[in-house]
Amino acid sequence: MSLAQEIDEVSPGIFVWQVYDSKVKAELFSTALETETGLFLVDPIPLASNPVELEANRKTAGVFVTNINHVRAAQEFSKALSAPLYAHEELRETVDFPEATWVHDGAQPSPGLTVIAIEGGPAGESALHLADNGGTIVVGDALINFDPMGFALLPPKYCLDPKLMRRSLGKLLDFVFERLFFAHGTPILSGARARVEKLLATTD
């Protein structure tokens, strides 16, 4: 996997790094959220620089994997930063994470940080909601935002159950959020909840 060259703080306490992966022919995005207990790194891809540079006067409280396809460099970051690794319990038997903390829908790995299970997407598909500053959600594959499809649901061929995934995404609307971050696609930095609500209404 190629190395990401830069880390950008795109909103206070929210960091993104990205790289194009020729093997999957897509941009890969990773997000770091600053929480009450420290940084949570979501689906981290390798960095050209030392991962410790992410911390910059803050510790890393956890590394989160959003689904079976996003193992990426999670274990390497977990070891380098001495941070626990989190993933949905559905992956317990399919991913070799010997020291993982397995979580379920509604779990809070840090105060104000909530796991949202998205059933029907890829195995273990989960999102994270951070309540601070108007709310932020980070999704795995269930939602994408890149050309030529734009902001859209994950195509059915990549889902375990597309209809169930669409219904599960309705759980996002139980939360207040302004921003939405993706594993594949450009972040939406304002008005994200309204965008999700409109998307789900038009794909019903």
Q: Copy the structure tokens of residue 184.
A: 């594949």
Quick one: pLDDT at residue 88?
Answer: 97
Neighbours of 74 (CB within 10 A): 25
pLDDT at position 51 is 74
| pLDDT tier at 1, thresholds 50, 70, 90 | low
Q: What is the rounded average pLDDT for all residues in the chain?
A: 94
Residue 119 is predicted with a pLDDT of 98
pLDDT of residue 93: 87
Tens digits of residue pLDDT in 149-171: 899 999 999 999 999 999 999 99
Give the tens place of pLDDT for each residue, 32-76.
Answer: 999 999 999 999 999 988 777 777 768 999 999 999 999 999 999
- Domains belonging to the chain, first-starting first, are 8-202 (3.60.15.10)
Confidence of residue 8 (pLDDT cuts 50, 70, 90): very high
pTM: 0.95
Confidence of residue 4 (pLDDT cuts 50, 70, 90): confident
- Whether 185 and 29 have beta carbons less than 8 Å apart is answered as yes
Q: Where are the alpha helices (DSSP H) in the chain?
A: 74-80, 162-169, 192-202
- Among 98, 132, 99, 104, smallest CA distance to 117 is for 104
Instruction: Say which amino acid occupies 135.
Output: G
Percentage with pLDDT > 70 across the chain: 98
What integer pLDDT is reported at residue 151 of this predicted model?
97
Tell whether the model's pLDDT for residue 191 goes beyond 80: yes
Q: Which residue has the higher pLDDT, 53 or 181?
A: 181
**Backbone φ, ψ for residue 79 (5° rounding):** -70, -45
